[in-house]
Amino acid sequence: GAVVSQHPSWVICKSGTSVKIECRSLDFQATTMFWYRQFPKQSLMLMATSNEGSKATYEQGVEKDKFLINHASLTLSTLTVTSAHPEDSSFYICSAQGQGGNEQYFGPGTRLTVT
């Protein structure tokens, strides 16, 4: 149980375009989802916290207009990188948390390359 998927697993896009990444909890309802970014050989940096049906809470320094997060249902959150630039190239990882629990279940990550 507690499986989280991400789609796509990797994506290459051109500079200036937008890319949408999906995060799904497959066998449980996720009241809260988290989005992280990880640059090569670095740690996971929390970008934002998203609760179903409400606006996402962004960490300091993360541009909310650039990284649009939608958590429209208890099993799906999306991250849209708008007007992507090469410096946005990174590994984006989501995690999902069920109601009443502390543990986060991580997705397999999405590798974004912006050319």
* Beta bridge partners of residue 27, listed in sequence order: none
Is 26 a binding residue for other proteins by CB under 8 A? The answer is: no
In the complex with other proteins, the residue whose CB is nearer, 17 or 113, is 113
Q: Residue 48 contacts by C-beta under 8 Å, 6 or more apart in sequence?
A: 34, 35, 56, 57, 58, 59, 62, 64, 67, 69
Name the segment binding other proteins (CB under 8 A); options: 13-21, 45-53, 68-76, 82-90.
45-53
**Spatial distance between the Cα atoms of 78 and 11, rounded to a whole number of angstroms:** 15
Interface with other proteins (CB under 8 A), residue from 60, 86, 87, 115: 60
Size of the site for other proteins (CB under 8 A): 27
What is the distance, to the nearest Å, from the Cα of residue 19 to the centroid of all Cα atoms in its chain?
12
Distance CA 40, CA 3 (A): 25
Stretch that binds other proteins, among 13-21, 35-43, 64-72, 76-84 (CB under 8 A): 35-43
Tell me: does residue 16 bind other proteins (CB under 8 A).
no
Tally the C-alpha atoms within 13 A of residue 36's C-alpha that lie toward its C-beta.
Answer: 17
Q: Taking CB under 8 A as the rule, does residue 107 contact other proteins? A: yes
Q: Which residues bind other proteins (CB under 8 A)?
A: 4, 6, 32, 34, 36, 42-46, 49, 57, 59-60, 91, 93, 95, 97, 102-109, 111
